[in-house]
Structure 1
Amino acid sequence: MAGWHGAERGGGAVVRWLLVACLVGLAPTLGQAQPPAETPEEPPEVRVIIDVSGSMRHNDPDQLAASALELLASLLPDGTRAGVWTFGVRVDNPLPPAEVEDAWRERAMALRPALVEYQPFTDIEAAVREAAEEPASGWNHLILLTDGMIDLSPSRGPKPAVDDASRRRLLDELAPTLVERGVVVHAIAFSDEADLDLVERLSRASGGLPALVQSPESLLGAFLDIAERIFPADQVPLVEGRFVIEPGVEAFSALLFHDPASAALGLVAPDGTRHDADNPPPGASWQVEPRFDLVRVPDPPPGEWRLEGEVGDSRIEVTSSLSLHTSELPATLFLDFPLPVEAWLTRGGEPWEGAPEGLAATAELLDGAERVQARVRLSRQAERFVGELPAPTQPGAARLRLRIEGEGLSRQRAQAVNVLPAIAARHEPGSSRVVLEALHPELDHASARPWGELAGERLMAEPAAAQAWRIALPELDPRVSQPMRLRAEVTLDGERRELDLPRLLLFPEAEIGLGLAGGAGPGPLGERFHLDLATGREGSESPDSAADRFVAFVDELTARTVALWREGGPGLARRAEAFGDPRLLATAGLAVLVLLILLVLLVLLVWRPRRAPRRAPHREDPHV
């Protein structure tokens, strides 16, 4: 979803977008998760809420929601408490919360039939309320999967008023209560028809990870991103199907994503012995599912292991007395704001004071295509490695990875994150204004002063609601699309700086586009608030290209020339009176004739069947 975590990594982004944020109108209490005064010491509790409304029959024909639940059940550590709820017009609890062990996993794997008992309507408020009602001993993580928006039965009141009232109760009353109780909501939007704003607000308010799933196959990656955030684990790098296990590793788990039609996977040990699901390594378990294999190998021989077969974005997790730890990694990063990071190794649960001097530590921010957005080499300070990751430059789903390696060992941890602008914007054509909303929790009327630039004119923003501003627009032609540059001067911790916010495209569906070649200045282009800032949802149709506009110009000029020709004698007489000199008229007539011939030639050279309107590039989720 890493789009928002829009989850598109071979089984994976969240966020995506993630997803990128859709938060104008967000109440101050939802601006940032506020954890309880005391952090629970018990293991986290996981409660999965799955939409079984009728639309899921169309959006999930291959029952990948069931596959994702099976993946999550396989990944949950023993001793964790977990349960499953389903909802449509009513809320059911086919698997009540209980301790995770083999019997619980078998019951979870048997839930596939319950997930196709489709119901009318979609009561998200009731589902979240009921799943969160029972107090949890530790942090309570809700994983909400929905492909729609709140849609209540008309028997409960007139629509859409009854749906709007339920949505307000969920966001304005229930969500702040969940935050106070330490409930973290990870919400997955399973289609473009889902209430993306609701998904983003619930997740971001509680410190959870939102994800926009662009394809059914990406749902597994979204669940994996969430599982890694709840239960972070040490990994070793997997490069071109190879990974190295050093001496002292007690066990490793290989989560291998693959296509359902692909050939069976193989695993070659350091001594050259080939293993597969029918012949696993000694003491190992090999779980085969249509879209992933999960291999657990105890006491693995040290050395280089090799995968055989086509795999997607996969993970190799290790268990040993040597463990990597990091400072808290937030689920949301902000454009133009660097991130302080810290990492260290422990041995036997204590800081490793005798760590080799040759170790090196790095922090990287990767986009949905695994390209490096930002990178920093951490400096060593005693047993710790510290540094500051440069500010991200593109909104959307991303992955934050920290790695320590050298002297024959390697450890890494990766977390899905969403990258958002510090201040988001949306255009309200009906009221002829632009609304700005601070997504960064520390920005408000006192610390930020935003403004816009349109056609060379500076437009100041006036304070509106808390952490919100409005920019009044001059009278604009809705047939013309043009970008608006947005900037802000912010002061935090006594430091004043100027931010380049994502540009906002006004009237993106207009036939005529102005300044679309970068004339509005630097920075990413935010065609729509819902799209580029949070969700990774598909963009609107882009204006015609320069070639298309030239053809339109030729067509119009030709039509005018033909109209003049059809005026005939009376028309020419009127033109003669205007010219006053017959020789000028003759010259003008000859010029028109030459121009007409040239236009015909140009039309023959450049004319082509008009292409269907292109859609603006999709910015990845996310991931989520």
Structure 2
Amino acid sequence: MFKFLVHCLNAIAAILPMLHRSGCTLLVLAALSVAPVWSAEPGPDVRVVVDISGSMKKNDPGNLRVPAVKLLSNLLPSNSRAAIWTFGQYATELVPSQPVSPAWQQQTLLAADKIGSTSMFTNIGLALQRSTKDWQAPATGPRHVILLTDGVVDISKNATDNQVARDELLNQILPALKATGAKLHTIALSADADAALLQQLARETDGMFERANNADELNRIFLRLFEQAAPRDALPLFDNGFLVDGSIDEITVLVFRKTGATAASLLGPDGTSHSLDKHPSEWRWHSDARYDLITVAKPAAGQWQIQAEVDPDNRVLVVSKLGLHVAAVPTLALAGEKIHFDLTLTEDGVAITRADFLKLVEAKVSIKAPEPAPGYQREVVLADAGGGHFKADWEVPALDANYQLAVEANAPTFQRVRKFNLQAVATPVQAVVAVDEHGVATATFEVSPELFKPDSISLTGQLELPDASKQPQTLTGSALAWQAVMPGQANGRYRLHWRFDALTVAGRPIVMEAAALEWQVGEAAPAAPAEKPAHAAEPAHEEPATEHTAEAEPDAASHAEAPAEPEKGGTPWLIIGIAINLVLVGIGVAFWWVRRRHKQAASVIDSALADDEDAPA
């Protein structure tokens, strides 16, 4: 009977999210009050630079660089520019820099097949110089370079020449790129790659560094770097299902599949199943051994379903009048640093500010660390901060982790999400304290040299004494090593609260207020005994707890006449009836709640349309 009731309650719980995601189209937002802010925001300029040195025959025997480049080119938004370069001893422009369009994407699909592994050397510096030679400072929009290599700076058989070229890359080419506002995202495709160099190129430009254990990972790495370089709005996926609203002009569905798996299919709202071999002629369907990429213009509103294995990297990207603007999220963050999330809903690139619409919106950030801390998962609710903004802060935990961030907005008639990746460092500053036999404490601080500009670092301290009073504490040192010497003024517990201010190597200001350093001088004072109340009663002697059965300790109610038991094998019709009624009531309440939310949204739009009609021309 209990199980039956549980099933009934589960049925109610299952209905609610389905109703919330039911096929309701987006109400027209053209009449909503908006404030122009981002209507002319330029799109990104992306340069993809691919190593074609001979060593790639070993590290990428299946030439999986080709489908990865094709995937990236098909995901880039239409407001972006892009170019594809290859390099070895020389650097060659495979696809010229042009605005991204179906024609540019088709050109890239054909040109990518020319990527091979034929060159003798690996001239990374030359490749970066030539691929970005038309970039002048200051930048007119976001600029990103995606660099893939399996090697080191290698321009000659002479080791001295190679070291000179590496130094030139770091001391001349990199600063010049930073001056143009470029972000370098780097991929090391083998254990032989100069990971230290590639990581420095990324960190100094606020880019991402990725290490591919094998070429099979390239598609997913390129997806993550695409989301950093050219983020696009997407639809949330629930068990491979997604809801298309009426404002969406185009969807691009990315479905990953394991080697040997059959191509995916797509089930539309009308129940029609579409496949690689059978789909409307106006659809674009690119199928690779490891993924399917399907682009549908003017998709029907309603519930769609991807018919394939669920994969966390599946995506449904959209082109729509209704979108998200998310304030910049850093690529690299430090433990203890606060990340400020700021989300705004937009229509045609301008912020929606109408309060009676925004009150229907629920916004949040889902944070996951799949590796190396798979257990970490948080959901940060974004609060309405006025002016169309939804905001919240999140403090980065002390984990070396790669976080996946999903910034999401939901309302009764639409859903949108933007995805980002964030790499975190757990211990950017090593802080320890040692106490000698005289009670003198010495705190030392060692700063990671690869993370910060040495001349920007400042540490300040405040010493908390055993009596809980506080006093400023001087920290001496410079650049990467600091210390504070604190004589013990009295026996007891001491705490050094400290604050760290600096610029990252990418020039981003950060402030950290880490946990205080604590130490003991002398013996800890014994805890004072609690005062006995003047008239406190003596505590009663407690018998050890024992387990009792109902027969061992009958209560007064046990003497009452027990009701007759139902016949064995009979059906408790009354309880079943109650359970069924509960289910029906739950369904009714759920429908009422959804209809009420939709009516609220509709009334907002209706009033907005009325206001628009009444407004003078």
Q: TM class, shorter-chain normalised?
A: 0.5 to 0.7
1:151 aligns with 2:154: yes
Question: What is the distance in 2 between the residues matched to 1:134 and 1:225?
Answer: 26
Question: What is the distance in 1 between the residues matched to 2:173 and 2:395?
Answer: 36
Question: What is the distance in 2 between the residues matched to 1:358 and 1:107?
Answer: 44
Amino acid at match of 1:250: D
1:490 aligns with 2:503: no
TM-score, normalised to structure 1, is 0.62
Which of 358, 364, 367 is residue 365 of structure 1 equivalent to?
367
Q: Residue 72 of structure 1 aligns to a residue in which SS?
A: helix
The answer on whether the counterparts of 1:422 and 1:439 sit within 8 Å (CA) in structure 2 is no
Segments of structure 1 that go 5 or more residues without pairing to the other structure are: 1-39, 426-432, 450-460, 472-486, 502-624
1:388 aligns with 2:393: yes
Amino acid at match of 1:498: A
Deviation (angstroms), 1:435: 7.5
Amino acid at match of 1:63: N
Question: What is the distance in 2 between the residues matched to 1:153 and 1:500?
Answer: 52
1:402 aligns with 2:407: yes
Q: Residue 270 of structure 1 aligns to a residue in which SS?
A: coil
Question: What is the distance in 2 between the residues matched to 1:83 and 1:393?
Answer: 38
The answer on whether the counterparts of 1:379 and 1:387 sit within 8 Å (CA) in structure 2 is yes
> CA distance change for structure 1 residues 436 and 264 in 2, over 3 Å: closer, same or farther?
closer
1:205 aligns with 2:204: yes
**Pairing 1:103-502 to 2, within 5 Å after superposition:** 103-135=103-135, 138-154=141-157, 158-159=158-159, 161-281=160-280, 283-312=282-311, 313-352=313-352, 353=354, 354-368=356-370, 372-382=376-386, 383-421=388-426, 423=428, 436-437=448-449, 439=451, 444-447=456-459, 463=477, 466=479, 468-469=480-481, 489-492=498-501, 497-499=513-515
Q: Residue 278 of structure 2 aligns to a residue in which SS?
A: coil
Q: Residue 116 of structure 1 aligns to a residue in which SS?
A: coil
Amino acid at match of 2:64: L
Q: Residue 110 of structure 1 aligns to a residue in which SS?
A: helix
- CA offset digits 1:244-293 (Å, max 9, x no partner): 12233222211111123101211111221111122225742222122211
Question: What is the distance in 1 between the residues matched to 2:224 and 2:262?
Answer: 26
Amino acid at match of 1:148: G
> CA distance change for structure 1 residues 163 and 244 in 2, over 3 Å: closer, same or farther?
same
| Identity between Structure 1 and Structure 2 (%) | 27
Question: What is the distance in 2 between the residues matched to 1:205 and 1:242?
Answer: 40
- CA offset digits 1:439-493 (Å, max 9, x no partner): 25699542268xxxxxxxxxxx9856x3x2399xxxxxxxxxxxxxxx9932459
Q: Which is bigger in relative contact order (C-alpha 8 A, separation at least 6)?
A: 1
- CA offset digits 1:34-77 (Å, max 9, x no partner): xxxxxx96432222111111211111011111111111121223
The answer on whether the counterparts of 1:47 and 1:82 sit within 8 Å (CA) in structure 2 is yes
Question: What is the distance in 1 between the residues matched to 2:367 and 2:133?
Answer: 37
The answer on whether the counterparts of 1:88 and 1:119 sit within 8 Å (CA) in structure 2 is yes
Deviation (angstroms), 1:305: 1.2
Question: What is the distance in 2 between the residues matched to 1:381 and 1:113?
Answer: 50
RMSD of Structure 2 on Structure 1 (CA)? 3.3
Amino acid at match of 1:93: E
The answer on whether the counterparts of 1:365 and 1:398 sit within 8 Å (CA) in structure 2 is yes
Deviation (angstroms), 1:128: 1.1
Amino acid at match of 2:499: V
**Pairing 1:72-111 to 2, within 5 Å after superposition:** 72-78=72-78, 80-111=80-111
Amino acid at match of 1:489: W
Question: What is the distance in 1 between the residues matched to 2:417 and 2:152?
Answer: 38
> CA distance change for structure 1 residues 343 and 73 in 2, over 3 Å: closer, same or farther?
same
The answer on whether the counterparts of 1:356 and 1:407 sit within 8 Å (CA) in structure 2 is no
Amino acid at match of 1:230: A
Q: Residue 391 of structure 2 aligns to a residue in which SS?
A: strand
Segments of structure 2 that go 5 or more residues without pairing to the other structure are: 1-39, 431-444, 462-474, 484-495, 502-508, 518-617
The answer on whether the counterparts of 2:123 and 2:155 sit within 8 Å (CA) in structure 1 is yes
Q: Residue 47 of structure 2 aligns to a residue in which SS?
A: strand
- The structure with the larger Rg is 2
Question: What is the distance in 2 between the residues matched to 1:128 and 1:327?
Answer: 28
Deviation (angstroms), 1:495: 8.5
Amino acid at match of 1:140: R
> CA distance change for structure 1 residues 178 and 62 in 2, over 3 Å: closer, same or farther?
same
Q: Residue 191 of structure 2 aligns to a residue in which SS?
A: coil
Question: What is the distance in 1 between the residues matched to 2:81 and 2:46?
Answer: 6
Q: Which moved more, 1:213-222 or 1:54-63?
A: 213-222
Q: Residue 134 of structure 1 aligns to a residue in which SS?
A: coil
Deviation (angstroms), 1:413: 0.7
Q: Residue 223 of structure 1 aligns to a residue in which SS?
A: helix
Q: Which moved more, 1:301-310 or 1:144-153?
A: 301-310
Q: Residue 365 of structure 1 aligns to a residue in which SS?
A: strand
Question: What is the distance in 2 between the residues matched to 1:323 and 1:250?
Answer: 12
The answer on whether the counterparts of 2:398 and 2:425 sit within 8 Å (CA) in structure 1 is no
TM-score, normalised to structure 2, is 0.63
> CA distance change for structure 1 residues 254 and 194 in 2, over 3 Å: closer, same or farther?
same
Question: What is the distance in 1 between the residues matched to 2:216 and 2:147?
Answer: 17
The answer on whether the counterparts of 2:342 and 2:389 sit within 8 Å (CA) in structure 1 is yes
Deviation (angstroms), 1:142: 1.5
**Pairing 1:15-30 to 2, within 5 Å after superposition:** none
Q: Which moved more, 1:240-249 or 1:350-359?
A: 350-359
Q: Which moved more, 1:204-213 or 1:70-79?
A: 70-79
Amino acid at match of 2:380: V
Instruction: Report how many residues are paired.
Output: 426
Question: What is the distance in 2 between the residues matched to 1:500 and 1:366?
Answer: 27
Q: Residue 152 of structure 1 aligns to a residue in which SS?
A: coil
Aligned match of 1:599: none
Q: Residue 481 of structure 2 aligns to a residue in which SS?
A: strand
Q: Residue 377 of structure 1 aligns to a residue in which SS?
A: strand
The answer on whether the counterparts of 1:46 and 1:82 sit within 8 Å (CA) in structure 2 is yes
- CA offset digits 1:96-144 (Å, max 9, x no partner): 3234334433332233453214212211111112212223664432111
Question: What is the distance in 1 between the residues matched to 2:178 and 2:130?
Answer: 16
Amino acid at match of 1:239: F
Question: What is the distance in 2 between the residues matched to 1:230 and 1:192?
Answer: 25
Q: Residue 258 of structure 2 aligns to a residue in which SS?
A: coil
Deviation (angstroms), 1:228: 1.7
Question: What is the distance in 2 between the residues matched to 1:371 and 1:290?
Answer: 31
Deviation (angstroms), 1:89: 2.2
Question: What is the distance in 1 between the residues matched to 2:364 and 2:401?
Answer: 22
